[in-house]
Amino acid sequence: MPSKGWFNLESAGGMIPETQFFEGDSAFKFLGLTRTQRLYGFSWLSHHWLGSFAVLYTIGILVSLIGTGFVIGFASQIKLMFKPVRIIATVVFLGSVGLVFVGAFVLKNEVLCIIFVIIEYLAYTWYNLSYIPYARSAVLKLVGMS
């Protein structure tokens, strides 16, 4: 008896129309993959690569932060990071960095990793804007929060 559900897409046969999931031609039509193969590929990539992306993205940001430390000095950088004007952004940024690694290696949850990367990105952007005069005010005006 064939199994029902997501993991046995072949048994669904013609029950799932091609256009329900893929509008128009696939960008990878030249590979000659069936709908089932594309869905399995998507599932595998999202499961195995999202967490890896999150970790590698976070490592990249940390490397850029360390690079800045080499330019201005690590003690100066730490003092600047924890000035009152940017302490909240720094704490949120560093916390989200830690949470990316917790999500990837402890919880093994790719969705949480991506959420933490988004928070990390926003906090790091807000942190960097604090070094540019009036940049935060301009961004707040741009999004209508000022």
Domain contains 22: no
pLDDT tens by residue, 2-17: 544 455 555 555 555 5
Domain contains 5: no
Domain contains 121: yes
Indicate whether 100 pLDDT > 50: yes
pLDDT tens by residue, 105-129: 899 888 898 899 999 999 999 999 9
Mind spelling out the 3-state secondary structure of 94-128? HHHHHHHHHHHHHCCCHHHHHHHHHHHHHHHHHHH
The CA radius of gyration of the chain, in Å to the nearest whole number, is 22
pTM as predicted: 0.66
Cβ-Cβ contacts under 8 Å for 139 (sequence gap 6 or more): 129
Domain contains 2: no
Range of the domain at 125: 50-135
Domain contains 70: yes
> Environment class of residue 83 by beta-carbon count within 10 Å: exposed (0-12), middle (13-18) or buried (19+)?
exposed
The residue among 36 and 130 whose pLDDT is bigger is 130
pLDDT tens by residue, 56-89: 899 999 999 999 999 999 999 999 999 999 999 9
